[in-house]
């Protein structure tokens, strides 16, 4: 499908394997590429009735598709906001930066690229960018040089040991490539004395929060905080440490958006190495072994920790979605 068309040529009703699946197991449900007619039916139905209730949508719309298939088609192709065409160089650059920060969190990355879908970005990454990085001698997963993969910390050793005993696919494929970062340091960087968002950390190097292997999860899940999550916001504890939400205003849209923008900004990511030159090459990823002395650098480093950055990221990206129904709790106003 070099030149993706709105739909496959009629008649090319391609021989998708007629596997029985939980989702489309009902006899008579169609699979494979969508026809223009189906697209039209789905589009006009959603324009009329709105998105959602995907499970029942096909029936209501008169489509012989499963809900999942309808949702996918709408999200990835039919939505008016979907931008088509080549990924621009600046978009490519942004994808690279975001991937370095987030790993394979395609939906989060897509959230920062208006009009692009997670599927599109994922495909672009797999077909273009990962190869590009490999050709430059950079591991596309870690954004570090390909053959200098020596474990430098016990955590890394542990993770490597784990990886050697577990099939690759059962490890969290989304794990952030930069695991060794402290949570509180991030907070101290983010906080602001004047607006009450001060995280008040005396010595940011006292409380490293390593992500141990047990918190790895799979799929689109969230990291395993030992407290309930409210759409990505840790409730009261993070990784067992007392980070009282009541005391810290975890993040706000504005705060986080500007923070994120700073992360994807050249000046921040291309920061020169700090401290004893302990590895910090902007082209090859950020080394997290040594505590940073530069506040900006520490923001970047701290953001590499899923225990912090993922919930925070949700504040900025997901909650900014127009149609998102759940708003984050504003602890400042409570």
174: nearest Cα among 103, 106, 237, 230: 103
> Any long-range contacts for 122-129 (C-beta under 8 Å, 24+ apart)?
124/87, 124/92, 124/95, 125/95, 125/99, 128/87, 128/92, 129/92, 129/95, 129/96, 129/99
Q: How far is the CB of 292 from DNA (least distance, A)?
A: 27
Which CB sits closer to DNA, 72 or 146?
Answer: 72
Nearest to 67 by CA among 105, 25, 112, 13: 25
Residue 2 zone, left/alpha/beta (φ > 0; ψ -120 to 50; rest):
alpha
Token output for 62: 């008169």
Nearest CB to DNA, comparing residues 106 and 199? 106
Q: Which is nearer to DNA, 204 or 232 (by Cβ)?
A: 232
Nearer to DNA, 2 or 150 (CB): 2
Q: Shortest gap between Cβ of 68 and DNA (angstroms)?
A: 6
Residues within the interface to DNA (CB under 7 A): 1-4, 7-9, 12, 14-17, 19, 21-24, 31-34, 52-56, 67-69, 71-73, 76-77, 104-108, 118-120, 122-124, 126-128, 131, 168-169, 173-174, 217-222, 224, 229, 231-232, 318, 326
Query: Running DSSP on this structure, what letter comes out for residue 240?
Result: T
Output the smallest distance, CB 304 to DNA, in A. 16
| CA nearest to 287, candidates 163, 180, 183, 159 | 180
Q: Shortest gap between Cβ of 111 and DNA (angstroms)?
A: 8
Q: In terms of CB distance, is 83 or 207 closer to DNA?
A: 83
Smallest gap from Cβ 80 to DNA, in A, equals 16
């Amino acid at each position: 499908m070099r030149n993706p068309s709105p739909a496959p040529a009629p008649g090319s009703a391609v021989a998708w394997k007629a596997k029985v699946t939980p989702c489309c197991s009902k006899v008579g449900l169609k699979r494979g590429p969508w026809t223009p007619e189906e697209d039209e039916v789905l589009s006009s139905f959603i324009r009329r009735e709105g998105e959602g209730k995907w499970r029942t949508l096909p029936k209501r719309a008169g489509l012989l598709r499963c809900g999942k298939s309808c949702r996918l088609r709408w999200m990835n192709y039919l939505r008016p906001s979907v931008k088509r065409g080549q990924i621009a160089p600046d978009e490519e650059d942004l994808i690279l930066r975001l991937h370095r920060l987030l790993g394979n969190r395609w939906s989060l990355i897509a959230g920062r690229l208006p009009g692009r879908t997670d599927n599109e970005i994922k495909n672009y990454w797999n077909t273009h960018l990962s190869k590009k990085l490999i050709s430059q001698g950079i591991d596309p997963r870690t954004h570090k040089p390909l053959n200098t993969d020596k474990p430098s910390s016990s955590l890394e050793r542990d993770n490597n040991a784990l990886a050697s005993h577990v099939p690759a696919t059962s490890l969290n494929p989304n794990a952030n490539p930069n695991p060794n970062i402290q949570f509180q340091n991030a907070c101290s960087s983010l906080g602001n004395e004047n607006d009450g968002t001060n995280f008040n950390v005396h010595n940011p190097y006292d409380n490293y929060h390593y992500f141990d292997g047990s918190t790895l999860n799979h799929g689109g899940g969230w990291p395993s905080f030992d407290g309930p999550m409210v759409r990505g916001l840790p409730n009261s504890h993070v990784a067992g440490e007392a980070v009282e939400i009541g005391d810290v205003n975890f993040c706000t849209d504005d705060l986080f958006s500007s923070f994120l923008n700073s992360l994807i900004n050249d000046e921040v990511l291309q920061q020169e190495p700090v401290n004893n030159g302990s590895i910090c090459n902007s082209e090859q990823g950020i080394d997290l072994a040594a505590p940073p002395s530069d506040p900006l650098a520490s923001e970047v480093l701290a953001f590499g920790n899923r225990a912090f950055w993922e919930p925070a990221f949700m504040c900025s990206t997901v909650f900014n979605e127009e149609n998102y129904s759940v708003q984050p709790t504003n602890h400042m106003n409570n």
